[in-house]
Amino acid sequence: MIKADIGNNAGRIWQYLDEKGESTLADIKKDLLLKGSEARMALGWLARENKIFLYGDEDNWSVILLY
């Protein structure tokens, strides 16, 4: 996976959270058809930019968009 793909997936996740609100990692992966590694890398990108807040344990993360 290249950096552009990670950035594109981060954008897709940001838009998803903007529309849906708080979501779980499982829902994000299912609804956006992302592999676990793709979703985690994109969430890392968003977390590094302080765009999201993650909580829960590794198997059941919840994600909130920060504006």
pLDDT at 38: 97
Q: How many whole angstroms separate alpha carbon 27 and alpha carbon 48?
A: 21
Given a cut of 80, whether residue 3 has pLDDT beyond it is: yes
Q: How many whole angstroms separate alpha carbon 54 and alpha carbon 32?
A: 18
Give the mean model confidence (pLDDT) for residues 2-12: 96
pLDDT > 90 in the chain, percent: 91
Q: Report yes or no: 23 and 36 within 8 Å, Cβ to Cβ.
A: no
pLDDT tens for residues 16-45? 999 999 999 999 999 999 999 999 999 999
Q: Report yes or no: 25 and 13 within 8 Å, Cβ to Cβ.
A: no
Indicate yes or no: pTM above 0.75: yes
Q: Which domains does the chain have, with CATH numbers?
A: 3-65 (1.10.10.10)
Q: Which two tokens stand for residue 39?
A: 């979703």
